[in-house]
Structure formats: C-alpha cells, structure tokens
Amino acid sequence: MSASPMNVGIIGCGVISTAYIRGAARSRHILVKSVADIREEAARSQASAMGVGYATIDEMLADPSIEIVINLTIPNAHAEVSTRILEAGKHVYSEKPLTVSVEEAQNLLQLAAKRGLRVGCAPDTFLGASHQACKVLLDDRRIGTVLGGSASFLSRGMEAWHPNPDFFFKSGGGPVLDLGPYYITVLVNLLGPIRLVTATASTGYLTRRIGSGDRAGEDIAVETPTSYSALLIFESGARFSLDASWDVWKHQRSPIEIYGTEGSLLVPDPNFFGDEPKVSERGGDWQAVDISAFAFGERNRTLRTGREVADHRSIGVVDMALAIRQGRPHRANGDLALHVLDVLLAIGRSAAESRVIEIGSSCDRPLPVSTGSSEAVFEVINQTHSGKVA
C-alpha cells in the first residue's frame, strides 16, 4: 500500500466542512488539497481559516492529483454536484442524504459503475466503537434472535443554532431525511435491509424563527412535516417503531432499543462514535458493554452542553481511500446509502399517501471493522463479507 496520503478535495464550505477538514487532518491516509464552493468567498475564507488550499470548482475537478472529492453541499445540490465529480473522473464521497430522490441516486451509482469509480456516503458513525461493539454482540447472538425494537430522535429544530436553517424545513428536509440517515444506517448495519414501511406525519409549527447568525430573528416558512411515526419491517422479520420529530422540547426515550429472544440491547446515539451500549440478558440488570477494543471511540469533542463525545466524522472517507488502494469494498458505500434513502423517502411517501410501502432496494450489511487502533484499523484487509442477515 502506498505510504503517501490520497489527495481529496471538498466542495461545499459551510458548517460541516470544518469537521471534515479536522477529521482528515487526524488521518495519515488522506490529505485535503483544496476546498471549493459556489460562493467563492466562502471557500477562500475556509481555506485560509483551516490552512488548506483554495480552488474554484472547475480547478478542483481538473486537478489530476485529486482522487476523491467530498460533496458537502446542501441536499438539493447533492445529485448535480456528485454527478459533476464523477464526470470529472473522480470518486465521490457525499454528505447525507446521497440525493433527494431514489432515481437520482440510482443514476449516480450507474454512472459510477460505468466509469469504474466509487460512491461513498455519510453517515460513518456506524464505523465507530459503539456501533461496531453492538454489531459483534448481535452477531454473537447475545440477545438471541432480534424480534424488534424502537428508534427515536425527538428534539426542537435546527433553527435555534444553524445560521442558514432554511433547507431543513423545505422539501428534501425534515427530521427523517436529515437525521434518519444516522438511525437507519445503524439499524441496517446491525440487522440488514428493510422490506416494508408504513408511517404518519404532521407539522407542529408553520414558521420557525432563526436563532443565530446574521439572520437571527427572521421567520422562515415550514414546507415539510416535522413529526413522523413509522413502522419498519426488516427482511429478517424484525419489527421496529420509529419516531422522528422537531416538535419536542424534552423526552425520556432511548435513541435505539433492540429486543431479542434472549435479552435487550440499548444502542447509543448514532450521531456519535463512542458511547457505551447496554445489554440485559434474560431480564437481568443492564450491563455496560466494553467498547475499549474497538477503534474510533476516543472522546475528542466537547459539545455546547459541555458533554464530551467521540466525533470521528470523515473515517468513512479514510476507509474508502484505503479500500480503493486495497481493491476491497468500502463500508459507507453507495448501495447502503441508496437503500437508506429509499427507506427514508418511503416513510415520507407512506405518510403522504396513507399506505404501506414495499422497499424496492436492498443492500449487503457492510464489512465489520476489526478491533484495533483507530490509526491502523482500516489497513487490515478484511476478506469476509458479512452479507445479508437471513
């Protein structure tokens, strides 16, 4: 394997770009060569603030030394920008959701396959210590056969802190498309693909007031439902309830609970990488699951609330870069992202049309991440593909 890092570019220099540039700086396997944005001044200022190169989008796409371009634009621009990246002969790693329609996602994957290029997609939190420990625990059948469970992500909306929160409340936004990728990706990684969904939805508030930045105090119209309740049936037969809302001030629900024939598992918040799962076997007390042998569990970020969390965002890109070099599948891949998007859009469609929706796509469970140190773990070539859960 080449010792030199793979050069990457970033298109989209908004809020999340800082986390990616910092994440890349922690890895010896990728190097952010330049950043670009449709707003050239945003790219110039982020390049100078973070000490990376600046380029126009055209310059970046014409740069032969850049192999992967990370697409951090807003969801409605993902398909167009990712298509341009692939057409320029570069692998693309996109922020979630992959696109805002299944057809766009299918076109993207077909284009990539035709050109022999990779499509990767956030979230990559499922590669972290918390969720990899859960995967091993479930595969070791510590709670027996999984029968069902629940997933909940309930909060106020993003308008309180995001300076430009409009896209969260337009078509292509809402809690299911915005936060659902974390939860559905973790569930598919643990339990395999989803076969059927049914859902209802409502809109709690018709306007939202921006709470920070230059536009603080400005009201924006809400054009998408902001509360959903759904039922998900997995190909394995497991049944999950899912509640997603931006209309909730406070609650006491766990992010994900999984119930099996021999016990129950509390899966940590899929937004982060290093919280401890808890398991109860045959009705016994909750026991913390030791995650110390797994990579990417180190706490490295302090939230506004003062809570210390593990945030290793960008490890999906690192895995993809090494997978390209090693000629193996990458984990946060396009097939997984397409299936997750298919499920998320089906939740919206089911709610809008009051009907049960069968999911057309499927995918393999991603390869597990071996135990070991965060720096080295993707260098281990894992030959066994875990495949679908029967």
Ligand X SMILES: NC(=O)c1ccc[n+]([C@@H]2O[C@H](COP(=O)([O-])OP(=O)(O)OC[C@H]3O[C@@H](n4cnc5c(N)ncnc54)[C@H](O)[C@@H]3O)[C@@H](O)[C@H]2O)c1
Buried b / exposed e over 90-108, threshold 16 CB at 10 Å, is bbbbbbbbbbbebebbbeb
Q: Which is nearer to ligand X, 258 or 331 (CB)?
A: 331
Q: Element (H or E) spanning 119, and its range?
A: strand 119-121
Q: Of 10, 31, 60, 75, which one interacts with ligand X (CB under 6 A)?
A: 75
How far apart are the C-alpha atoms of 162 and 294, rounded to whole Å?
32
Per CB under 6 A, 50 contacts ligand X: no
Per CB under 6 A, 44 contacts ligand X: no
Binding segment for ligand X among 37-45, 126-134, 140-148, 350-358 (CB under 6 A)? 37-45
Q: What are the tokens at 261?
A: 């024939």
Burial of 138: CB neighbours in 10 Å, binned 0-12, 13-18, 19+: buried
Considering only residues 133 to 192 of the shown chain, the ones binding ligand X according to CB under 6 A are 164, 178
Per CB under 6 A, 95 contacts ligand X: yes
How far apart are the C-alpha atoms of 279 and 284, rounded to whole Å?
9
Per CB under 6 A, 74 contacts ligand X: yes
- SS3 at position 69: strand
Per CB under 6 A, 274 contacts ligand X: no
Q: Which is nearer to ligand X, 89 or 213 (CB)?
A: 213
Asked if 162 and 15 touch (Cβ cutoff 8 Å), the reply is yes
Per CB under 6 A, 37 contacts ligand X: yes
How many Cβ atoms from other residues are within 10 Å of residue 185's Cβ? 26
Query: Whole-angstrom distance between the N-terminal and C-terminal Cα of the chain?
Result: 35
How many Cβ atoms from other residues are within 10 Å of residue 327's Cβ? 7
Asked if 205 and 221 touch (Cβ cutoff 8 Å), the reply is no
Binding segment for ligand X among 34-42, 200-208, 299-307, 367-375 (CB under 6 A)? 34-42
Q: Of 6, 8, 10, 11, which one interacts with ligand X (CB under 6 A)?
A: 11
Per CB under 6 A, 39 contacts ligand X: yes
Q: Of 30, 72, 336, 347, which one interacts with ligand X (CB under 6 A)?
A: 72
Q: Which residue is nearest to ligand X (CB)?
A: 14
Q: Of 6, 10, 12, 197, which one interacts with ligand X (CB under 6 A)?
A: 12
Q: Residues with Cβ < 8 Å from 115, sequence gap 6 or more?
A: 86, 89
Q: Which is nearer to ligand X, 108 or 143 (CB)?
A: 108
Binding segment for ligand X among 6-14, 103-111, 200-208, 232-240 (CB under 6 A)? 6-14
Q: Which is nearer to ligand X, 85 or 201 (CB)?
A: 85
Q: Of 7, 73, 185, 189, which one interacts with ligand X (CB under 6 A)?
A: 73
Query: SS3 string of 37-55?
Result: CCCHHHHHHHHHHHCCEEC
Asked if 341 and 180 touch (Cβ cutoff 8 Å), the reply is no
Closest approach of Cβ 234 to ligand X, in Å?
A: 25
Q: Of 5, 14, 53, 372, which one interacts with ligand X (CB under 6 A)?
A: 14
Per CB under 6 A, 42 contacts ligand X: yes
Binding segment for ligand X among 38-46, 205-213, 314-322, 345-353 (CB under 6 A)? 38-46
Closest approach of Cβ 258 to ligand X, in Å?
A: 24
Per CB under 6 A, 196 contacts ligand X: no
HSE (side-chain half, CA atoms, 13 Å) at 370: 13
- State the residues that interact with ligand X by CB under 6 A: 11-16, 37-39, 42, 72-75, 77, 81, 95-96, 164, 178
